Amino acid sequence: MSQPIKIGIVGVGKIVRDQHLPALAKDQDYRLIAAASRHGKVDDIPNFPTIESMLDAVPELEAVSLCMPPQFRYDAARTALMAKKHVFLEKPPGATVSEVENLKALAAQNGVSLFASWHSRYAPAVEAARAFLNSTRIKSAAINWKEDVRRWHPNQEWIWAPGGFGVFDPGINALSIATHILPAMFITSAVLDFPENRASPVAARVTFRTSNGLPVTMDLDWLQTGPQSWDILADTDKGAMVLSGGGSKLAIDGRVVHDEPETEYPMLYRRFAEIVRAGTSDVDLAPLQHVADAFMLGKRNVVEAFFD
């Protein structure tokens, strides 16, 4: 068996505690040996205030997992790549498409791996949905992604700042699945609802057409109360497909055909280990490009002020 990859984690917040640390603790491909964060700490390993101080103090690090807000990720990723460390990017991989394109080039120049970790793409029913759609003729599709920001991102002001994505922070999860299971899509129109006291949208309605002319709609809402909705639907010549629960359950004409427990982050780290050992990168920019296109083509609609 190969020696564990010595990894450090940067940005110790909710997603790290909920997902990254448990996944790393169970994965024999890794040994977590350091962390860097302005506020959070990880028990039983050295902690540092910045990625620079961590890299200086722990030169044996081979890889870093970057989990800070996207507005700050480019500089940290560039620092790590220039130090010849493999880099795992939490989603979204950066604040702009051009930033991540530059990181891809830097990874290649320095002979290290870069991974854009679209976690929803690794939900348990996604591959089954992809196989089903590849076996049928799609007539239309719809994405309904509605959740409560107050539940999932309490007191996280960065998501409302420029570059924070707003409702496209969860919406990009839907796009990471849609771009994997549907034909190539292009945005034709969008309406983005901006609270009058925020710089990022709280809801969006987007229309696409696929490369072969099929209609796809997307409805995003970040003020959904009660049950949360993370669904992708398709009308096909083999029946109505519903991929629900963020990609965890697949039903055809109301009959559940795939339903397994979620293992997204363990699978992400498994994939990262694969590309590190193969000396390759895995950076798909399609979901991020769609967000950029929505902001470019979208009509801005100002709505009532939002308060946490």
Bridge partners (DSSP) of residue 185 are 210
Where are any strands of DSSP class E within the chain? 5-10, 30-36, 47-48, 63-66, 86-89, 114-116, 138-146, 185-195, 203-210, 215-221, 229-236, 239-244, 249-252, 255-259, 299-303
| Helices assigned H by DSSP within the chain | 14-15, 21-25, 51-57, 73-82, 97-110, 126-134, 149-152, 168-181, 264-278, 286-297
| Token pair in block for residue 273 | 């280990």
Tell me the torsion sign for CA atoms 275, 279, 283, 284.
negative
Among candidate residues 26, 84, 91, 249, the one labeled active-site is 91
**Residue labelled with tokens 């049950």:** 227
Active site residue 91: yes
Q: How far apart are CA 248 and CA 246, in angstroms?
A: 6
Closest listed residue to residue 62, CA positions, set 15, 29, 90: 29
Pairing state of beta strands 215-221 and 203-210? Answer: antiparallel
| Token pair in block for residue 308 | 């946490």
3-state secondary structure of 101: helix
Residues designated catalytic: 91
